[in-house]
Amino acid sequence: MTLRRRLMLWVGFAVAVVACASAPRPKPAEQLYFAMEVSQSGRVIARPKLLGEAGKVVRAERRQPGADQADYQLVLDPATSGGGYRIKLDLALPDGQGHSELALLHGEQRRVELGLHPGDLEVSLMVMRVDSPEFRALMDIAQRSEHVPNSI
């Protein structure tokens, strides 16, 4: 092999190494915390707290032991959108179901009606980045309240 050919191979190898090293790496999915409250006819029936990731569907179901039918089935489909999140929400109950799409900012809470009649089925949803000062503060408050004895 000639010196020129060897030099060309080394240059090609070096270019390939630099190209691979400088290629943008995919950003890891943003981990999210969802706090919800589900009300039916003015009565709170569920308060799920869920962890998920932007770009991945989150499914939750509550079922009493031995029950054939779930008390509720919940599907959240979160996606990043600008500085916030676009969330598709589907909720199924034994006697009805609802769908909504929301745009929320980090830490924002919004209440939406999913039923046909006002007040039938309402969901309050708050979304927060797990790796944020606000989330850590919320978890600190929750942990401190667990250690406070009940008093009247």
Euclidean distance between CA atoms 144 and 140, whole angstroms? 6
Euclidean distance between CA atoms 112 and 135, whole angstroms? 23
> Which amino acid is located at 32 in the chain?
L
Domain ranges of the chain: 31-146
pTM value > 0.75: no
Note down pLDDT in tens along the chain; length 152 residues: 666 665 555 555 555 555 555 556 656 678 999 999 999 888 999 999 999 999 999 999 999 999 889 999 999 999 998 889 999 999 998 888 889 999 999 999 999 998 766 668 899 999 999 988 777 787 787 777 665 555 44
Query: Judging by beta carbons within 10 Å of its beta carbon (0-12, 13-18, 19+), is residue 111 exposed, middle or buried?
Result: exposed
> Which amino acid is located at 70 in the chain?
A
